[in-house]
Amino acid sequence: MISKLLIGAATAATLMSGVAFAQSSTVNGAAGGAVTGAIVGGPVGAAVGGVAGAVVGTAIDPPPEKVVTYVREAPAPSARVVVKEKIVVGQPLPETVVVTPIPDDPTYAYAVVNDERVIVEPSSRKVIQVIK
């Protein structure tokens, strides 16, 4: 049992070294979760850890600095948008909030809500980052 666990961990570590160049936190999160899961729980732990790592990796994938800079410098809309809900990273913005695509990177959009600038994923309206 120990030898199978060590072989599985060594294989996962070898695979993860190639993944390190991918620069995607989703991929890195999945690989890291799989390695940790394999060490703790064997093959089933690897499967569960990989899925959990992918979810965590997706949640923490920060936008490029050029997107953050654009959102900081973009003119605020003339109408002030206020919502009762708290703006939370990982949660979608209410449908009443207008999101504006980022011209140089359409994978991101932004909005100004409750006097805070937020970067969102346009398709899901999920908040990726609140700009301070």
Which residue bears the tokens 């703006």? Answer: 87
Indicate the pTM of the whole model: 0.56
- Which residue pairs from 42-45 have beta carbons closer than 8 angstroms and sit at least 24 positions apart in sequence? 42/4, 42/5, 42/8, 43/8
Q: What are phi and psi of 116, to 5 degrees?
A: -120, 140
Q: Are residues 93 and 117 in the same domain?
A: yes
Q: Are residues 90 and 69 in the same domain?
A: yes
Query: Could you give the angle at which helices 2-19 and 25-59 cross, rounded to 10 degrees?
Result: 90
Mean pLDDT over 75-80 rounds to 84
Q: Are residues 70 and 122 in the same domain?
A: yes
pLDDT at 118 over 90: yes
Mean pLDDT over 88-114 rounds to 94
Q: Are residues 70 and 55 in the same domain?
A: no
Number of domains in the chain: 2
pLDDT at 125 over 70: yes
Choose between 15 and 51: higher pLDDT: 51
Q: Are residues 74 and 127 in the same domain?
A: yes
pLDDT at 42 over 80: no
- Could you say which of 42, 59, 76 is where a domain stops? 59
d(CA 64, CA 108): 10
- Predicted confidence band at 7 (pLDDT cuts at 50, 70, 90)? very low
pLDDT at 101 over 80: yes
Please give the pLDDT value at position 34: 54
